[in-house]
Chain A
């Protein structure tokens, strides 16, 4: 493989691994904000324990998101220096804005949420939870601005730039209108689709944990609040995925018709094109085999007319096509998973309404197994968006092969890929281990003990059963003696 292919592989590996974690923390931050609001309003102990529990899950996930996120930012410079030179005038600003306007907010107040609960008033603690939620959401906004600009660039002019000898066209994109660049055509659909996806990820994550507690008959006071809450969020979220997904697909149809054709598997221009539901992975030049679809569906959805004409890939030169099979399969598997999740949630909301959800063992087991589904769907969605943009790194402006770093050799990238894979596999296992441990430990402890235990890593490291011997008076004493309510 050459430098461009290796760099793409590295970017794909690092970004898909990284995005597992923010997608969970963005969703969890929303749940924590809701629970914190309940706690702040009602002062009930159960909300306190719930919030502490979710915050612990947040913490182990957040740290991996932070450290793998730094890699993402610097990779633009290390592996894509000509891209950096070409788009820096526009692309760097959202990254810096993310830091200043969002990421500082998030990581600063995470400190309070994780370690400072006893140092601040109840209201400030609540506010800190809200700030973390706000920070994660704004962070998603700015990073999606950068990504969307690569998909549907706007608000720029291309200028010849002699000093920019590194960029192949000898040009660079220069900012002409900041707000047009920020609110480029794809940002709003993408933001809505991504944020609702993250809420679904967070809701499924906590729903699965609560279902597991119900199945095990433990932590029921907490599970009986979290389960209904997450079922409702996951139900509406799964529905919202189709609404926002439709919006985003329409945007792709308008602005990136080649990607659209690859996503939908349209090789030949057709009037009354069917909406393909399932087919075998096509070869690069088609056609689709064993395709099952809704007749005239695609024409209706894209043109609002049963016999509307949908342009097929044949309309464009083959050099402008993305890898069709990956785009098609990624998109259809994502939609299929979305349907599966919505189906699960239809049953969930029905059982919830009938108040029988705790007895539906099969559904509860499926809810546990479904934890990874939205994460997989999110990854497939990103794959569709990014692979579907090929051969461009910036749509219609710069080809991916022209964006690489000329001074970096294939062996350099191969070395870094090996190092990254080894490191990330380690991180994944550490994360799974820590999450498993936190779930096993659960929110059972009385708040004072939970707090004190967290203050000292020795106790943190002990098996979940360890704090049990503490008598109630000892718990109270611990709370008074120990001013250090947080820590690792």
Chain B
């Protein structure tokens, strides 16, 4: 039996990856909303493709956040307060894009809808970018002072590495969003989604390599765990799923494409987790790094949480699958009647 704290490191990875996979596609669909959908009908198609599930997808963020709070409270407090203005910006973006989905259709006025479309798209893209910048900072580490506090402000978060990871995350989100749209829509909309997806895959590949190269100079600790072959599982999965994603894109295999896109995200999550472990928030300053062994909650809390997760998550997955099943198939709008 591995240490409970290690189990929770993995489970948190699973929760955040679940969030990236699910909210990834609705954030991604939002990020490309203005490009992929030109007419009002197409834009409604995009919204209807994510409509029934986007708020359920955001619950993954709430759950992952709660689990991080419970399992590694110091990391929760240090990271969120350290990234203060970035988090406020992120929450603002998530609020605006969420209500845009709901309020866009309340008026027929063209400017009304165009404004909500822009907010929805910018909010989604900004949220994806900021998640990536935050991840980049977590991987690279932030300068904690001797009291364990980050005082570098917003600008201090914008290193070349974290920005590269930010763009990588935005690219991945767009890749996932377009994969979903290819799966759920038809015609010109799906064709545009396919073309945008190729660009997104290119961005992912370039920023992945780019951030790795920057890390060679800027965050060497990220390579510590890659001495054994097993650690290369993540990168290998990413490489192959991106290759197969391009192939399925060209062959117009929507379902395979979506699976490949998911696998690419999973592969990158495994890569990031491998690179980070055993750190949770490395320190580049005089303060100590927060690690799996130093920052975890008591064994009792971790066991209680494990019971909740082991009993609860299979049920959650079962009814989530049921609901996705009920909404399967292409989104169709019947405009003739209106």
Q: Give me the interface of A with B, judged by CB distance under 8 Å.
A: 59-60, 62-64, 66-71, 73-74, 76-85, 87-93, 95-101, 103-105, 107-112, 114-116, 119-120, 163-166, 172, 174-176, 178, 405-408, 412, 415-416, 419-420, 423, 427, 430, 433-434, 437, 452-453, 455-462, 470, 474, 477-478, 481-484, 486-488
Within the complex, the shortest CB–CB distance from A193 to chain B, in Å, comes to 24
Cβ of B259 within 8 Å of any chain A Cβ, yes or no, is no
What is the bound-complex CA distance between A486 and B327, given in angstroms? 10
- Per the bound structure, the CA–CA distance linking A175 and B71 in Å amounts to 12
User: How far is A81 from B68 in the complex, measured between Cα atoms in Å?
Assistant: 13
B219 within 8 A of A: no
Contact sample, A vs B, 12 pairs, CB 8 Å cutoff: A59-B102, A89-B73, A89-B298, A93-B301, A93-B305, A95-B65, A166-B149, A174-B300, A175-B301, A408-B84, A461-B105, A484-B332
Separation of A109 and B294 alpha carbons in the complex (Å): 39
| A111 in contact with B62 (CB, 8 Å) | no
Contact with A along B300-324 (1 / 0, CB 8 A): 1100110011001100100110010
A66→B44 CA distance, assembly (Å): 22
CA of A103 to CA of B313, assembled, Å: 12
Contacts of B112 in A (CB 8 A): 461
Instruction: Give min CB distance, B198 to chain A, whole Å.
Output: 29
Q: Knowing A100-B316, A484-B334 touch, does A164 contact B48 (C-beta < 8 A)?
A: no
Size of B's binding interface in residues, CB under 8 A: 86
> Is B194 located at the chain interface by the 8 A CB criterion?
no
Q: CB-CB < 8 A to B335: which residues of A? A: 456, 458
B88 adjacent to A405 (CB under 8 Å): no
* Contact present for B59 and A488 (CB under 8 Å): no
* Residue interface mask B116-134, A partner, CB < 8 A = 1: 0000000000000000000
Contacts of B174 in A (CB 8 A): none
How far apart are the CA atoms of A176 and B300 in the complex, in Å?
A: 7
Query: 16 additional contacts, CB 8 Å, given A99-B66, A419-B88, A458-B105?
Result: A77-B81, A84-B73, A87-B73, A92-B301, A96-B67, A100-B309, A101-B312, A104-B316, A105-B316, A107-B59, A111-B56, A115-B52, A165-B147, A456-B105, A457-B44, A488-B104
- With a cutoff of 8 Å between Cβ atoms, the chain A residues found around residue B338 in the complex are 453, 456, 458-459
CB atoms of A104 and B326 under 8 A apart = no
Choose, from B89-97, B210-218, B225-233, the stretch at the interface. Answer: B89-97
Q: Are the CB atoms of B51 and A486 closer together than 8 Å?
A: yes
Q: A419-B88, A482-B334 are in contact. Are A174 and B65 (CB under 8 A)?
A: no
| With contact pairs A63-B99, A92-B71, A115-B327 given, residues A474 and B80 touching in the complex (Cβ less than 8 Å) | no
> By the criterion CB–CB under 8 Å, are A405 and B92 in contact?
no
> Is the beta-carbon distance between B102 and A60 smaller than 8 angstroms?
yes
Nearest residue (CB) in A for B88 is A416
- Shortest Cβ distance from A425 into chain B, in angstroms? 13
CA distance A120 to B323 in the complex (A): 10
Contacting residue for B326 out of A68, A112, A430, CB 8 A: A112
Instruction: From known contacts A78-B80, A104-B320, A456-B338, infer whether A69 and B62 are also in contact, taking CB-CB under 8 Å.
Output: yes
Query: Is B248 close to A, CB under 8 A?
Result: no
Contact A163 B74 (CB under 8 A): yes
B256 at the binding interface (Cβ < 8 Å):
no
Complex contact B103–A434 (CB within 8 A): yes
Taking CB as reference atom, which chain B residue is nearest A437?
Answer: B106
Please list the residues of chain B having a beta carbon within 8 angstroms of any beta carbon in chain A.
40, 44, 47-48, 51-53, 55-56, 58-59, 61-63, 65-74, 76-85, 87-88, 91-92, 94-96, 98-99, 101-109, 112-113, 147-151, 288, 294-295, 297-298, 300-301, 304-305, 308-309, 312-313, 316, 319-320, 323, 326-327, 331-338
Contact A77 B316 (CB under 8 A): no
- List the B side residues contacting A66 at CB < 8 Å: 55, 58, 98
Q: How far is the CB of B138 from chain A (nearest CB, A)?
A: 13
The answer to whether A481 and B334 have CB atoms under 8 Å apart is yes
On whether the beta carbons of B74 and A103 are closer than 8 Å, the reply is no
- Residues on B with C-beta less than 8 A from A474 are 337
Given A98-B66, A458-B335, residue A407 in contact with residue B81 (CB < 8 A)? yes
Point out the residues of chain A lying under 8 angstroms from B47, CB to CB.
457, 487-488
Q: Which residue of B62, B105, B308 is within 8 Å of A488 (Cβ)?
A: B105
B337–A84 CB distance below 8 A = no
Which of A71, A88, A107, A115 is close to B69, meaning CB atoms less than 8 Å apart? A88
Most-contacted residue by chain A among B69, B298, B326 (CB, 10 A):
B69
Report whether A166 and B78 are in contact in the complex, using a CB–CB cutoff of 8 Å.
yes
CB pair B332–A483 under 8 Å, yes or no, is: yes
Tell me whether A92 and B73 are in contact (CB under 8 A): yes
Residue numbers in B under 8 Å from A76 (CB-CB): 69, 76-77, 80
**Do residues A107 and B91 form an inter-chain contact, with CB atoms below 8 A?**
no
**Minimum C-beta distance from B152 to chain A (A):** 9
Given A68-B95, A88-B76, does the pair A405, B81 have CB atoms closer than 8 Å? yes
Chain B contacts for A423, CB-based, 8 A: 92, 95-96
In whole Å, how far is B153's beta carbon from the nearest beta carbon of chain A? Answer: 8
Q: Which of B70, B148, B297, B313 is most buried by chain A, counting CB atoms within 10 A of its CB?
A: B70
CA distance A197 to B87 in the complex (A): 33
* B313:A100 contact, CB within 8 angstroms: yes
Contacts of A104 in B (CB 8 A): 56, 59, 63, 316, 319-320
Residues of B contacting A88 in the complex (Cβ-Cβ under 8 angstroms): 69-70, 72-74, 76-77, 297
| Measured CA separation A245–B94 after assembly (Å) | 37
Pick the residue among A67, A84, A100, A484 that contacts B76 (CB under 8 A).
A84
Cβ–Cβ contact A487 & B319, under 8 A = no
Q: Which residue of A lies closest to B112 (CB)?
A: A461
Q: Which of B48, B84, B295, B308 contacts A163 (CB 8 A)?
A: B295
In the complex, what residues of B have CB within 8 A of residue A458's CB?
40, 44, 105, 108, 335, 338
Most chain B CB within a 10 A radius of its CB, from A97, A164, A457? A457
Residues of B within 8 A of A63 (CB): 55, 98-99, 101-102
Residues of B within 8 A of A70 (CB): 58, 61-62, 91, 94-95
Nearest CB of B to A378, in Å: 22
Chain B, residue nearest A155 (CB): B300
Q: In the complex, A91→B150 CA distance in Å?
A: 23
> What residues of chain A lie closer than 8 Å to B103, measured between beta carbons?
430, 434
Query: Which of B61, B72, B298 has a CB less than 8 Å from the CB of A175?
Result: B298
A115 nearest CB across to chain B (Å): 4
- Give the residue name and chain of the A residue nearest to B101 (CB): A488
The one of B69, B83, B323, B334 in contact with A96, judged by C-beta atoms closer than 8 angstroms, is B69
* A481-B51 in contact (CB<8A): no
A111 touches B76 (CB 8 A): no
In whole angstroms, how far apart are the Cα atoms of A460 and B85 in the complex? 37
Q: In the complex, what distance in Å separates the CA atom of A420 from the CA atom of B91?
A: 10
Q: Are B70 and A461 in contact (CB under 8 A)?
A: no
Instruction: Looking at the assembled complex, report how far the CB atom of B12 sits from the nearest CB atom of chain A, in whole angstroms.
Output: 10
Return A57 CB to nearest CB of chain B, in Å: 13
Which residues of chain A have C-beta atoms less than 8 A from B51's C-beta? 115, 486-488
B70 touches A95 (CB 8 A): yes
Known: A70-B62, A88-B76, A488-B104. A407 touches B84 (CB 8 A): yes
B328 → chain A, closest Cβ, in Å? 10
Q: Is the beta-carbon distance between B48 and A487 smaller than 8 angstroms?
A: yes
Complex CA distance for A165 and B294, rounded to whole angstroms: 12
Distance between Cα atoms of A105 and B315 in the complex (Å): 9
Task: Enumerate chain B residues within 8 angstroms of A64, measured Cβ to Cβ.
Answer: 99
Contact A100 B105 (CB under 8 A): no
Q: How far is the CA of A62 from the CA of B52 in the complex (A)?
A: 13
Cα A34 to Cα B53 in complex, Å, equals: 25
